[in-house]
Amino acid sequence: MYYRTIKKLILLTGDVAMLYSSLYITLLIRYWSKPGLDLWQKHCWLFTIIFIVWIFIFYIADLYNLNLAVNNIRFIMLTSRCIIIAGLFSVIFFYLIPQFDIAPKTNLFLCIAIFIILFFLWRKFFNWILEISPKNNIIIIGINQQVYELIEELNKNARLGFNVLLIINNKQIKHNINNIPVISDMTNLKKVIIDYKINTVVLAADPRESHTLRSALFQCMSLQINYTTLPHFYENVTGKIPVKAINEMWFLENLNKGEKKFFNIVKRSYDIILALLIFIIT
- From its phi and psi, is residue 280 left (phi > 0), alpha (psi between -120 and 50) or beta? alpha
pLDDT score, position 244: 61
How far apart, in whole angstroms, are the C-alpha atoms of residue 112 and residue 110?
5
DSSP class of 118: H
Phi, psi (deg, nearest 5) at residue 234: -60, -45
Q: In the 3-class helix/strand/coil scheme, how is 165-203 assigned residue by residue?
A: EEEECCCCCCCCECCECEECCCCCHHHHHHHCCCCEEEE
- Element spanning 106, H or E: helix 104-132
Give the Cβ contact number of residue 22 at 10 Å: 22
For the cut 60, the answer to whether the pLDDT of residue 256 exceeds it is: no
User: Could you tell me which residue, 161 or 85, shows the higher pLDDT?
Assistant: 85
Q: Where does the pLDDT of residue 262 fall: very low under 50, low under 70, confident under 90, or very high at 90 and above? A: very low
Highest mean pLDDT among 18-22, 94-98, 105-109: 18-22
Task: From residue 228, give the alpha-carbon distance in Å to each of 135, 148, 171, 199, 251.
Answer: 17, 17, 21, 11, 10
Q: Does domain 136-251 have CATH number 3.40.50.720?
A: yes
Q: Where in the chain is the domain with CATH 3.40.50.720?
A: 136-251
> Distances from the Cα of 222 to the Cαs of 56, 152, 216, 219, 225, in angstroms?
40, 31, 12, 7, 9
pLDDT tens digit string along 22-61? Answer: 988 988 887 777 777 777 777 778 888 889 989 999 988 8
How many Cα atoms are found within 13 Å in the side-chain-facing hemisphere of 166?
20
Per-residue pLDDT averaged across 52-77, rounded? 82
Q: What mean pLDDT is predicted for residues 133-152?
A: 86
pLDDT for the residue 250: 44
Cβ atoms of residues 53 and 78 within 8 Å: no
What is the pLDDT at residue 263?
47
Statement: residue 249 has pLDDT above 50: no
Name which of 180-189, 233-242, 265-274 the model is least confident about.
265-274
Residue 248 has pLDDT above 50, yes or no: no
Question: What integer pLDDT is reported at residue 257 of this predicted model?
Answer: 45
Residue 242's pLDDT is what? 64
pLDDT > 90 fraction of the chain, expressed in percent and rounded: 11
**Taking Cα atoms as reference points, which of 39, 154, 162 lies closest to residue 107?**
39
Summarize the confidence of residues 221-226 as an average pLDDT.
Answer: 84
Q: How far apart are CA 268 and CA 253, in angstroms?
A: 21
> How does strand 162-168 pair with strand 200-203?
unpaired
* The predicted structure's pLDDT at residue 143: 87
Res. 231: pLDDT tops 50: yes
H helix and E strand count, the chain:
9, 5
So what's the pLDDT on residue 155?
A: 81
Beta bridge partners of 228: 202
